[in-house]
């Protein structure tokens, strides 16, 4: 049973465009929602994270939007660059539990 | 500083052989996780160690899979009688503790079973 559903599976965006990845969850006990970035041949690395008491968090060109009532959160990559080409995973956990990962989104930014 | 390291980086084995994968977590991290990532797929949780507590083995796919963590540091994931469907990247992660949210991942071991 997949507790975090992620879409799309892949997306292609032109340099300078906006990449949007969406995730939905079921467990209302989740209280931490991170996004991980993974480059080929590397392990995932934490990119940005949010807690459900805020609706948005921005770090540089990366923004998480969080909708608690809809149990959805999304990652926006503004001004996408070729170096952003990677696989992105959303995840969720509660304070005592394990991270539950989405299936991942492969982002390709074309020059 | 040193991150999570894993060895070997690549392992090719024949069906039916046993393999051991090693993980060295970040020094001082008490929590250690093993995940499996099949081609183009997400991260499948395998097992979790927290300090001296009994490990959470709920993600191990079969009794051919086992893991141990010696001295609260280095961990070894063992797959016995490997099958072709075991081919995947095996990722290790560590964190400061059970309530610490950020997990730091190693580069993974790519296992190919012929």
Size of interface A-B (CB pairs under 8 A): 48
Touching check for B7 and chain A: CB below 8 Å? no
Question: Do A65 and A74 form a contact (C-beta atoms < 8 A)?
Answer: yes
Touching check for A48 and chain B: CB below 8 Å? no
Question: Do A50 and A66 form a contact (C-beta atoms < 8 A)?
Answer: yes
Number of domains in chain B: 1
What's the pLDDT tens digit per position in B62-111?
A: 999 999 998 879 999 999 999 999 999 999 999 987 667 789 999 999 99
CATH number at residue B12: 2.60.40.10
Q: What residues of chain A score a pLDDT lower than 70?
A: 1, 96
What's the pLDDT tens digit per position in B23-65?
A: 999 998 999 999 999 877 789 999 999 888 889 999 999 999 9
At a CB cut-off of 8 Å and minimum separation 6, what does B79 contact? Answer: B18, B19, B21, B64, B65, B86, B111
Q: Which pLDDT score is estimated for A1?
A: 62
Domain boundaries, position A17: 4-110
Å between B110 CA and nearest CA of chain A: 9
If you average pLDDT over every residue of chain A, what do you get? 93
What's the pLDDT tens digit per position in A40-63?
A: 989 999 999 999 899 999 999 999
Tell me the sheet residues that pair with A5.
Answer: A24
DSSP string, A20-35: EEEEEE--TT--BEEE
Touching check for B93 and chain A: CB below 8 Å? yes
CATH number at residue A32: 2.60.40.10
Number of domains in chain A: 1
Name the DSSP letter for residue B13: E
Rg (CA), chain B: 13
């Amino acid at each position: 049973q997949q507790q975090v559903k992620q879409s799309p599976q892949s997306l292609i965006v032109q340099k300078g465009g906006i990449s949007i990845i969406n995730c939905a969850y079921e467990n209302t006990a989740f209280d931490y929602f991170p996004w991980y970035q993974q480059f080929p041949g590397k392990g995932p690395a934490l990119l940005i994270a949010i807690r459900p008491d805020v609706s948005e968090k921005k770090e540089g060109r990366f923004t998480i939007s969080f909708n608690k009532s809809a149990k959805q959160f999304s990652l926006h990559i503004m001004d996408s660059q070729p170096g952003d080409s990677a696989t992105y995973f959303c995840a969720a956990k509660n304070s005592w539990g394990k991270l539950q990962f989405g299936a991942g989104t492969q982002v390709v930014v074309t020059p | 500083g040193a991150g999570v390291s894993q060895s070997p980086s690549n392992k090719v084995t024949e069906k039916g052989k046993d393999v051991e994968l090693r993980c060295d977590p970040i020094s001082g991290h008490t929590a250690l996780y093993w995940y499996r990532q099949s081609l183009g797929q997400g991260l499948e949780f395998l097992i979790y160690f927290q300090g001296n507590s009994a490990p959470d083995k709920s993600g191990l796919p079969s009794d051919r899979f086992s893991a141990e963590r010696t001295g609260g540091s280095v961990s070894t994931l063992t797959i016995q009688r490997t099958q072709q469907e075991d081919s995947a990247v095996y990722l290790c992660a560590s964190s400061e503790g059970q309530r610490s949210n950020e997990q730091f991942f190693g580069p993974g071991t790519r296992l190919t079973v012929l």
